[in-house]
Amino acid sequence: MGQLLSKAKEQLYDCKLVTGKLRAMLQSADEQVRSLKKQSMFLSQIAAKTIPNGIHCLSMRLTIDYYLLPLEKRVFPRRENLENPDLYHYALFSDNVLAASVVVNSTIKNAKEPEKHVFHLVSDKLNFGAMNMWFLLNPPGKATIHVENVDEFKWLNSSYCPVLRQLESAAMKEYYFKSDHQTTGSSNLKYRNPKYLSMLNHLRFYLPQVYPKLNKILFLDDDIVVQKDLTGLWKVDLNGKVNGAVETCGESFHRFDKYLNFSNPHIARNFDPNACGWAYGMNMFDLDVWKKKDITGIYHKWQNMNEDRVLWKLGTLPPGLMTFYGLTHPLDKSWHVLGLGYNPSIDKRDIEKAAVIHYNGNMKPWLELAMTKYRSYWVKYIKFDHPYVRGCKLGE
């Protein structure tokens, strides 16, 4: 026993040495986890910016066939409805044919009076032909549809539009495209998404200029699905406000201080950091009040002040929060349920009773990284039996 105890004593490790080694191992493991998290976020941002082969194929085939059509066959019926203020008008700005088709298809399938609905689509020059061809081949029943090309809006130029001037600047191009930019982390990559360079993303601030004869319009993002008749939104009293939207703030989340730089005196003087944020994606806009309040002018003022991105980084929600500050009427949350593109724990009951569900976030339903549990709400509005869809293997 004495010999055994003696031998055991010799084999005892120094506790300080063991503690030091364990701390080093823990630190190394922690650094590895952080590195893998950054890599995962970086790759998810890259994936979110990609266009799946099937959607690219669909767009190319539709574009080719559109430009082979005689001019007289490129016209949509019921053009007289486009400026009729007694109908239900929707604005949808998209460069994704499949996503736009789901928005229109889901709206019409759940509408009580489809013939009273008018869809105003705007795309870019690359997807204009494809968007037209899809809806010429797949008209939305008795509803009216019209497709325009944002690049043909001659009034939308850099002398009038501050964000267009900024997007064309050398500093902005360097921010987007310089490969050795010092802020290459995933959080900054998010703001270097090509969607921020597209005027389709900023066109929402020019609705009265695009639709001068309308008095109300419902703005929809292309990553939403409509599940109920939306005509009740036109009956909601906005109480003199311009924007009807669902608020997104919880205990402390999605308040103004999460989006704006309150260390800047212009922000600190004009806004409450605890003010509640709201969501783009489904917004009822009163265009008559918009014009009276000169909303586009307010947007231009703030955009001009953000030349060096000192008030906010990029995107359209921060300037939207500022432009419509005090001019937003909160809608009931059941109109618009968000988070299907990033939040895996949304209550299924909330999703199923929502009028509109929104796949905001990176996990868009048309991407492979979409959350399987939410994808079925979107895919049921795709026409998988359509020859173009089958030909591009979008059902696989």
Give CA 319 to chain center in angstroms.
14
Checking 234-238 for CB contacts under 8 A at 24+ apart, the result is 234/88, 234/284, 236/284, 236/329, 236/331, 238/284, 238/286, 238/289, 238/329
What the block records as the tokens of 290 is 């918009």
How far is the C-alpha of 207 from the C-alpha of 284, rounded, in Å? 11
Cβ neighbours for 389, distance < 8 A, ≥ 6 positions apart? 58, 382, 383, 395
CA distances from 390 to 113, 239, 386 (A): 31, 48, 6
Please give the pLDDT value at position 357. 97
Question: How many other C-beta atoms lie within 10 A of the C-beta of residue 160?
Answer: 13
Token pair 């299907």 is at which residue? 340
How confident is the model at residue 24, as a pLDDT? 86
- Paired tokens of 307: 């030349």
Segments in the chain below pLDDT 50? 183-187, 191
Task: Name the pTM for this structure.
Answer: 0.85
Single-letter amino acid code for the residue at 387: P
Terminus-to-terminus CA distance in the chain, angstroms? 72
